[in-house]
């Protein structure tokens, strides 16, 4: 009996699967056991054709493949190459149990790429479960960006057999590749794009909104934009992506992993994800789910990026209330009868809404057609516990002919980068919005006047404990923008001006 290692998904993480083979006397047969999906059971025909087309004879014996652990459902075509190599090396006295072998087989014996392979291998590497692997040659350009793993690329079964039987060490692993971008160096190398496909110079006026967006980007604070139709809410939200803080190389790989899980080709760009589900989307599509296994949704796919809800009040009540947990805990838990999965969901949330159902309540040139009851019903779609998780509220005004684009994305991004440098000098590795209660006490230091101003606000507005902490974190970001080590009274006052009342 021989075995090699492969992998499959359980939620968003890869799990090691041991592929074991047994070739015994009996009526010729080929069976796969261990809760294999249709794609894996179909591999029997691919393996048979590939082996015969390469000139090998299929042994007239009983051939059994076991995928262990047997209680884990396996999916994907990446098991083909593992099964074929076990079949052809069964009579060889070699130990190949330390190898990971991935690849889908063509009928001619060629080894093809599996679209989920990068995400699988990256997850294994993050868990320190893999050190060497045989993979399709066409996957090397992506896989060699993963550090501390030796990759051996093959284009057919024969090349894989040569590697597994090589005792001389002449076959070398592929060289690792790096991604070159403009970067800044603070507590680690951080990468960013100095290119802005959508620029804030196109947004006319809205100075207060741009200031709030700068604060949101620099501290990763959740923000809600309220204003009449056409005032620029969606324009600002789409441009926010390009001024967000830079990424570490590990975060770039994690984003590429999510792209692979979604079925996209990873681009390895230092650009944070932007997810904008429609308000008619189901809860399962936003948070993840499925009848048998819990699959990732929009919230999980926005990890390390931003999640934009346009027409916020029109999202269903259960979606808005379920969003409270990931906004607070930066993770999403999905429970099903057959599986329980937890996804990281550390994102910046941005919402946009009209001031009333018709949208004209704040418009100086149009008359609002809504009754007080309709406006109240519209506002009540957003509960106080949900709004308590929003750091910044900005009410936007109509654009006038005199307004101009007074600031560019490059200028705003430069300020965000300066904030990242500033907070890293004090040893802070988290964004201000993500600070724990202990870290708030360490980094959000107020001077005497700021402390008194905050206490007055607590008494006047009866702020909740969560609201107090959010004010402190927003004020910390404002102080960072102003290059101030201590939070001053002016910082607290500006933070209070963005609070939802």
Residue 457 lies in a domain: no
Phi, psi (rounded to 5 degrees) for 89: -110, 15
Residue where a domain stops, chosen among 397, 417, 437: 417
Closest C-alpha among 36, 246, 251 to residue 122 = 251
Give pTM, 2 decimals.
0.88
Residue 437 falls inside a structural domain? no
Three-state secondary structure call for residue 442: helix
Q: Please indicate, yes or no, whether residues 272 and 155 belong to a single structural domain of this protein.
A: no
Q: 14: which residues sit within 8 A by CB, 6+ positions away?
A: 7, 8, 119, 120, 121, 123, 124, 127, 129
Residues 276 and 363 in one domain: yes
CA end-to-end distance (rounded Å), the chain: 70
Give a yes or no: residue 395 inside a domain.
yes
Specify whether the backbone of 34 is left (phi greater than 0), alpha (psi in -120 to 50) or beta: left
| H or E segment to which residue 422 belongs | helix 409-425
Q: Which residues pair with 340 in a beta bridge?
A: 335
**Which pair of structure tokens corresponds to residue 377?**
């019903």
Q: Does one domain contain both 235 and 123?
A: no
Give the DSSP H or E segment for 4.
strand 2-10
In this structure, the answer to whether residues 137 and 197 fall within a common structural domain is: no
Residues whose CB falls within 8 Å of the CB of residue 397, separated by 6 or more in sequence, listed in order: 205, 206, 227, 231, 362
CB 122 within 8 A of CB 102: no
Task: Give the three-class secondary structure for 479.
Answer: helix
Q: What are phi and psi of 334, to 5 degrees?
A: -120, 125
Measured between alpha carbons, how far is 255 from 115 in angstroms, rounded to an integer? 15
**Residue 470 domain flag:** no
Please list the rounded mean pLDDT of every run of 10 residues in the chain (501 residues).
89 89 87 85 90 88 91 89 92 90 94 90 93 95 91 95 87 80 67 90 91 97 94 94 93 91 86 95 87 78 96 95 93 77 92 94 88 94 93 89 83 95 90 95 94 94 91 97 96 92 61
151, 290: one domain: no
State residue 230's pLDDT score. 87
Cα-based angle 358, 363, 365 (whole degrees, multiple of 5): 110
From 398, 417, 436, the end of a domain falls on: 417
Q: Is 182 within the bounds of a domain?
A: no
Together in a domain, 256 and 397: yes
Per-residue pLDDT, 26: 84
Residues 244 and 149 grouped into a single domain: no
Domain tally for the chain?
2
Residue 285 lies in a domain: yes
Residue 138 DSSP code: G
Q: Rounded to an integer, what distance in angstroms lies between the CA atom of residue 437 and that of residue 443? A: 10
| Cβ(342)–Cβ(331) below 8 Å | yes
Whether 160 maps to a domain, the answer reads yes
CATH of the domain at 51: 3.30.230.10
Residue 491 lies in a domain: no
Which CATH number covers residue 331? Answer: 3.40.50.300
Q: Which of 499, 501, 447 is nearest to 212 (CA)?
A: 499
Domain around 244: 189-205+222-417
* pLDDT in the model for residue 58: 82
DSSP secondary structure string for all residues of 174-239: PPP------EEESSSEEE-----SS-GGGS-S-HHHHHHHHHHHHHT--EEEE--TTSSHHHHHHH
Asked if residue 120 and residue 265 are part of one domain, the reply reads: no
């Amino acid at each position: 009996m021989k075995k090699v290692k492969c992998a499959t998904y359980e939620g968003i993480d890869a799990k090691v699967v041991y592929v074991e083979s047994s070739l015994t006397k009996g009526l010729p047969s080929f069976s796969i056991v261990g809760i294999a999906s249709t794609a894996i059971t179909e591999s029997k025909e691919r393996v048979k054709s590939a082996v015969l087309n390469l000139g090998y004879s299929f042994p007239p014996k009983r051939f059994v493949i076991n995928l262990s652990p047997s209680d884990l459902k396996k999916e994907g075509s990446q098991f083909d190459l593992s099964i074929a190599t076990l079949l052809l090396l069964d009579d060889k006295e070699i130990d190949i149990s330390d190898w990971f072998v991935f690849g889908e087989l063509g009928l001619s014996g060629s080894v093809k790429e599996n679209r989920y392979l990068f995400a699988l291998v990256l997850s294994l590497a993050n868990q320190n479960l893999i050190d060497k692997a045989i993979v399709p040659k066409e996957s090397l350009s992506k896989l060699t960006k993963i550090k501390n793993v030796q990759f051996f690329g093959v284009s057919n079964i024969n090349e894989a057999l040569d590697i597994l039987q090589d005792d001389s060490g002449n076959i070398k692993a592929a060289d690792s590749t790096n991604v070159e971008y403009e970067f800044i160096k603070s507590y680690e190398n951080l990468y960013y794009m100095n290119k802005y496909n959508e620029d804030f110079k196109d947004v006319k006026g809205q100075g207060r909104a741009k200031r709030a967006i700068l604060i949101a980007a620099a501290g990763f604070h959740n923000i809600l934009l309220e204003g009449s139709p056409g005032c620029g809410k969606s324009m600002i939200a789409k441009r926010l992506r390009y001024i967000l803080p830079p990424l570490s190389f590990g975060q770039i790989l994690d984003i590429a992993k999510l792209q692979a899980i979604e079925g996209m080709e990873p681009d390895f760009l230092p650009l944070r994800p932007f997810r904008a589900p429609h308000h008619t989307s189901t809860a399962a599509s936003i948070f993840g789910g499925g009848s048998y296994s819990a699959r990732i949704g929009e919230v999980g796919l926005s990890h390390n990026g931003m999640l934009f809800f346009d027409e916020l009040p029109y999202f269903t009540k259960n979606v808005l209330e379920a969003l409270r947990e990931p906004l607070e805990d930066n993770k999403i838990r999905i429970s099903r009868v057959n599986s329980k999965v937890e996804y990281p969901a550390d994102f910046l949330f941005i919402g946009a809404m009209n001031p009333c159902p018709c949208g004209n309540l704040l418009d100086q040139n149009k008359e609002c057609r809504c009754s007080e009851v309709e406006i109240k019903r519209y506002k009540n779609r957003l509960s106080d516990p949900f709004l308590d998780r929003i750091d910044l509220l900005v009410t936007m005004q109509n654009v006038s002919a005199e307004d101009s684009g007074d600031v560019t994305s490059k200028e705003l991004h430069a300020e965000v980068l300066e904030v990242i440098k500033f907070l890293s000098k004090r040893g802070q590795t988290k964004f201000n919005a993500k600070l724990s209660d202990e870290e708030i006490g360490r980094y959000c230091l107020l001077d005497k006047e700021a402390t008194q101003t905050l206490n007055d606000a607590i008494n006047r507005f009866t702020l909740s404990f969560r609201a107090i902490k959010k004010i402190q974190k927003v004020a910390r970001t404002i102080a960072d923008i102003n290059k101030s080590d201590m939070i001053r009274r002016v910082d607290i006052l500006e933070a209070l001006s963005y609070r939802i009342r």
